[in-house]
Amino acid sequence: MFANIGFPGLILILVLALIIFGPKKLPEIGKAAGQTLREFKDSTKDLTSDVTDELNETKEILNGKENK
């Protein structure tokens, strides 16, 4: 969806953000967005590791039953 924006589109978005929020508020918004993305990334890693751990435990149980 965003792959078609291009450089001129990004400039337009930046100018509109400056007009709407002002130069004082824009760094705060950027910081909040960065923190939100970082939390999302950490949560995704935790969820992925939980699923991977469960899958490995299930494989170990199944392999243990096959060997008996």
Q: What per-residue confidence (pLDDT) applies to 55?
A: 92
Distances from the Cα of 27 to the Cα of 1, 11, 64, angstroms: 25, 16, 55
The tens digit of pLDDT for each residue in 6-44 reads 888 889 988 998 899 888 898 898 899 999 999 999 999
Q: Which residues of 8-41 are buried (b: 16+ CB within 10 A; e: fewer)?
A: eeeeeeeeeeeeeeeeeeeeeeeeeeeeeeeeee
Look up the pTM and report it. 0.58
Average pLDDT over residues 35-58: 94
Q: Which one has a higher pLDDT value, 65 or 48?
A: 48
Under 8 Å between Cβ of 63 and 55: no
Greater confidence (34 vs 67) lies with 34
Residue 6 is classified by DSSP as H
Instruction: Count CA atoms within 13 Å of residue 45 on its CB side.
Output: 6
